[in-house]
Amino acid sequence: MSNFQQDNVALMCDISELVSLFDFEAGLDGFLAKVVSTVAWHMRAAVCSIYLYESKTRELVLRANQGLNPALVGHLRLKLGEGITGTALKEMRAICEANATDHPAYKHIPGSNEEAYLSFLAVPIQRKMNPVGVIVVQDPQWNYFNPNDVQALRVISSQLAAVIENAHLLLRLHGGADSADSALGHDLFPGDPGFEVGTHCIRGQGAAGRMAMGLSTRIGQYLSQNPADHLCPLGLTEADFDRAIQLTERQLMDLQARLEDKLQDAASMIFGAHVLMLKDDAFSGEIRQNIRSGVSPWNAILNQVRHYSNLFGQSSNPALREKVLDVEDLGHRLLYNLATPSFDNASPDYTGQIIIAEEFLPSDILKLAAEGAAGLVLLGGGQYSHVAILANALQVPLVIVSDRRLLNLPENTPLLLDGKEGQVVIRPGPDAIKTMQEIIRALVDSERLADEVLPVTRTRDNVEVQLMANLNLVTELDVALRVKANGIGLYRTEFPFIVRNTFPTEEEQYHGYRSVLQRMDGRPVVFRTLDIGGDKALSYFPVGHENNPFLGLRALRFTLRNPEIFKQQLRALFRAAAGHPEAKVMFPMVASLDEFMGARDLAYQCCDELAREGIVHRLPALGLMVELPAAVMIADELAAAADFLSIGSNDLIQYMLAADRTNDEVAAWYSPHHPAVLRALQRIVTVAEQADKSVSICGNLGADPSMLPFLLGIGLRVFSLDPMQIPAVQRRIAEIDLTRARAFATKLLGLGRISDIADAIPSFDRPE
């Protein structure tokens, strides 16, 4: 690594430290002034400037600078698209010029004293794909900045975007907040009597198939305490509050560090809002002023958290509403650190506790898993498959129920959670606890059996079958490797997007994808591009109301409609694929040959751009998912154009039968053994074979033991599964003889009624 590269690493570390030490007393401009000084020093650049974008005027304003005329700070304005700086933001791309005057958009700024600076590098700062500003460096030496400098500034711009957005949100809140505090009512659900004394079993939907025992809690439950009923600890001082602030900050930074180490693809500044509020003088400073005026530190914290929780919850700004859990969680931690013996919980985290809530955002799942939650209970209707998948990926039990009495459950009520059968047991007796302990031990034993998986899966007549793993987050790689998966057949790249509060940058995506390839050590990895929409919406990028989101702007439609998002992901994937011939990319929800070729053309554009920028990359094999009836009908043309096919069985069945697979009301119509589904599967495999293209299947169908003989019988040899399903599927495949399986498949394909097929399926395992 060159000295310049080493210094860029140090620069990114220093900026990261500056972000974590954001000081509201110094203000945003004071923070930006430190940033430009740090960047200029590390990059040995004569000039560094930061411009912030004002949406009302559509102008960039110089907010911090080192090296130019200081009188311009706060006064120099550039319109969107004006000069190299304005062009970089308008086109949302980095611009690096050996000689600035050669660029067609170059604009001389009179009185700036920039005449002597030839080299020019401008990198846009963007948040949620919205313009935030531009960071610029200049130097008198011709062709001074290299691709490493460009990548370093890209990382820095993403770090700056997060802190600038959170700072703006809090500053805006301070300016428009009502000064009157309004505490939450003592009785949150006065019309709900709750549960009588004794054991109760609530049935719901198991969403993450694990078990848990723990004590109930609702985040922010402490806010409903009536001061007349709850005496705050006596003798607390401002010094105790300062100690609680320092301890809370250390805990949050440690949580963030541990989360980033475990989840490189999804943990970017997940606790950033907590830390910023902790440092915000209008939050902690107001608490301190109240303490000095005679309010107990305990009550001062409670009052301020109540105030912010109400303000966030009532805001029309969705970004603020999403921070309700953050401020309530922060209050929980502050109160614990202020007076541990007086707090109900035995930990500042949620270790040993089962969280009950009306809503969990995907980012909440990540935070609560990091804070040790034993399990989760989610109330309310709607579709939550993305939350369930995340909980399962993070190995946190989750049950979805509709009984709202759980919201009024007293704090620290003993609960048993069965995430497999979908049950919540309230105040379990000794027999129930013993049974649950035995089930948990049995699950541990079954996971131990995963270590006994054979490295090669074969049918009874010795034909090899590939068992690949589905991956949602990098944390699941350990399980995939433990069960000896032959590769990753489906990496759902949208989940690192869903759990965050903004789009990951190209650089962040690149590092995440590269880490997956490195960990898989030469095994195949198939990355599916963003499948956003339906029940997987991004809270920070609303697409507007859709009457039927599953038939709306989702998957490839979304990315083709938003090429700036799509290109960032494709660039990151192609950079990660360099040196990894096993990497492949596939497009989801392809409905036409035109859509596939449009996505492929965009991929070629990205490769051309990377080549022009001198960035190492590789164009991997490009495939597609067959999961729409339209794709089945044109499967031969798609197979001819694509490098490989993958059958998305869950969506294929759903769209073929017009039956929502997550809706209990139509569960009987969601039939994997419908004759149309079976014939569609055969057609896809046949045309893939004719085109000499590989074909795999992913989704629940591939793990169904009763359907495996049919799937093998029509010619499928590659299955992509939840990693923990691999041991059972391998054992089932070992029992299947392909000659019998082919005859069995032919028999099922000849039947026209669902009931006849259902009756015939068990016959495969009957003695001949």
In the predicted structure, residue 176 carries a pLDDT above the cut 60:
no
Mention every residue, 6+ apart, whose C-beta is less than 8 A from residue 43: 7, 8, 11, 137, 145, 149, 152
- Mean per-residue pLDDT of the chain: 83
The pairing of beta strand 457-458 with beta strand 200-203 = unpaired
Total of domains in the chain: 2
Q: Return the structure tokens found at 675.
A: 């004759």
Q: Which of 131, 161, 176 is the last residue of a domain?
A: 176
* Neighbouring C-beta atoms of residue 226, cutoff 10 Å: 10
Distance of CA 324 to the CA centre of its chain: 19
**DSSP type of residue 533:** B
Is 16 inside any structural domain? yes
Binning pLDDT at 50, 70 and 90, where does residue 343 land?
low
User: Is 174 considered catalytic here?
Assistant: no
Distance separating alpha carbons of residues 154 and 505, to the nearest angstrom: 8
Asked if residue 705 lies in contact with residue 719, where contact means CB atoms within 8 angstroms, the answer is no
The confidence score (pLDDT) of residue 738 equals: 96
The confidence score (pLDDT) of residue 484 equals: 93
HEC profile for 701-733? Answer: HHHCCCCHHHHHHCCCCEEEECHHHHHHHHHHH
The confidence score (pLDDT) of residue 96 equals: 95
How far lies 207's CA from each of 37, 211, 394, 398, 421, in Å? 50, 11, 12, 5, 9
Binning pLDDT at 50, 70 and 90, where does residue 742 land?
very high
User: Is 201 considered catalytic here?
Assistant: no
**DSSP type of residue 351:** B
In the predicted structure, residue 660 carries a pLDDT above the cut 90:
no
Is 213 inside any structural domain? no
The confidence score (pLDDT) of residue 610 equals: 96
Q: Return the structure tokens found at 214.
A: 């723990």
The confidence score (pLDDT) of residue 528 equals: 96
Q: Which domain CATH number covers 161?
A: 3.30.450.40
Amino acid at the residue 402:
S
Binning pLDDT at 50, 70 and 90, where does residue 144 land?
very high
Distance separating alpha carbons of residues 603 and 581, to the nearest angstrom: 17
In the predicted structure, residue 754 carries a pLDDT above the cut 60:
yes
Per-residue pLDDT tens over the stretch 513-568: 999 999 999 999 999 999 877 656 665 565 555 556 667 777 899 889 889 889 99
**DSSP type of residue 123:** E
Per-residue pLDDT tens over the stretch 192-235: 456 777 778 888 877 766 788 888 888 877 776 554 444 567 78
Q: Which domain CATH number covers 603?
A: 3.20.20.60
Mention every residue, 6+ apart, whose C-beta is less than 8 A from residue 619: 574, 577, 603, 604, 607
As a residue count, the chain comes to 768
Which residue pairs from 5-9 have beta carbons closer than 8 angstroms and sit at least 24 positions apart in sequence?
A: 5/148, 7/42, 7/43, 7/44, 8/42, 8/43, 8/148, 8/149, 8/151, 8/152
Q: What is the mean pLDDT of residues 155-183?
A: 61
Per-residue pLDDT tens over the stretch 438-478: 666 655 555 666 678 899 999 999 999 999 999 988 878 88
Domain carrying residue 75: 3-176
Mention every residue, 6+ apart, whose C-beta is less than 8 A from residue 8: 42, 43, 148, 149, 151, 152
Which residue pairs from 272-275 have beta carbons closer than 8 angstroms and sit at least 24 positions apart in sequence?
A: 272/162, 272/163, 272/166, 273/166, 273/323, 273/326, 273/501, 274/326, 274/329, 274/330, 275/20, 275/22, 275/249
State the catalytic residue, choosing from 274, 332, 386, 673.
Answer: 386
Asked if residue 578 lies in contact with residue 585, where contact means CB atoms within 8 angstroms, the answer is no
Binning pLDDT at 50, 70 and 90, where does residue 272 land?
confident
Distance of CA 254 to the CA centre of its chain: 20
Higher pLDDT, 341 or 368: 368
Binning pLDDT at 50, 70 and 90, where does residue 348 land?
confident
Asked if residue 65 lies in contact with residue 48, where contact means CB atoms within 8 angstroms, the answer is yes
The confidence score (pLDDT) of residue 178 equals: 33
Q: Return the structure tokens found at 535.
A: 């029940």
Per-residue pLDDT tens over the stretch 471-504: 988 878 888 998 999 999 999 998 777 766 667 8
The confidence score (pLDDT) of residue 168 equals: 67
- ∠ CA 601-602-603, nearest 5°, is 90
In the predicted structure, residue 188 carries a pLDDT above the cut 50:
no
In the predicted structure, residue 113 carries a pLDDT above the cut 60:
yes
In the predicted structure, residue 663 carries a pLDDT above the cut 80:
no
Per-residue pLDDT tens over the stretch 329-338: 888 889 888 8
Taking only Cα atoms into account, the Rg of the chain, rounded to an integer number of angstroms, comes to: 28
Task: Find, among 471, 229, 215, the residue nearest to 344 by Cα.
Answer: 215
Is 512 inside any structural domain? yes
Distance separating alpha carbons of residues 208 and 211, to the nearest angstrom: 9
Lowest-confidence pick of 116-125, 265-274, 426-435, 470-479:
265-274
The pairing of beta strand 583-587 with beta strand 59-66 = unpaired
Residue-wise DSSP of 278-330: HH-IIIIIHHHHHHHTT--HHHHHHHHHHHHHHHHHH-S-HHHHTTHHHHHHH
Task: Find, among 762, 274, 361, 312, the residue nearest to 538 by Cα.
Answer: 361
The confidence score (pLDDT) of residue 228 equals: 41
Strand, coil or helix: 387? helix
Distance of CA 115 to the CA centre of its chain: 45
Positive or negative, the Cα torsion across 504, 509, 511, 512?
Answer: positive
* Neighbouring C-beta atoms of residue 403, cutoff 10 Å: 16
The confidence score (pLDDT) of residue 266 equals: 60
Q: Which of 159, 176, 193 is the last residue of a domain?
A: 176
In the predicted structure, residue 269 carries a pLDDT above the cut 90:
no
Q: Which of 110, 143, 176 is the last residue of a domain?
A: 176
Is 693 inside any structural domain? yes
In the predicted structure, residue 649 carries a pLDDT above the cut 50:
yes
Dihedral angle computed from the Cα positions of residues 385, 387, 389 and 393, in that order, rounded to the nearest 10 degrees: 180
State the catalytic residue, choosing from 96, 232, 606, 698.
Answer: 698
In the predicted structure, residue 186 carries a pLDDT above the cut 70:
no
How far lies 538's CA from each of 116, 147, 532, 542, 554, in Å? 45, 31, 7, 6, 11
Asked if residue 646 lies in contact with residue 693, where contact means CB atoms within 8 angstroms, the answer is no
pTM greater than 0.75 (yes/no): no
Looking at mean pLDDT, say which of 35-44, 434-443, 666-675 comes out highest: 35-44
Is 558 inside any structural domain? yes
In the predicted structure, residue 714 carries a pLDDT above the cut 50:
yes
How far lies 526's CA from each of 639, 702, 725, in Å? 17, 17, 19
Distance separating alpha carbons of residues 496 and 508, to the nearest angstrom: 10
Q: Return the structure tokens found at 649.
A: 């069985």
Q: What is the mean pLDDT of residues 749-759?
A: 95
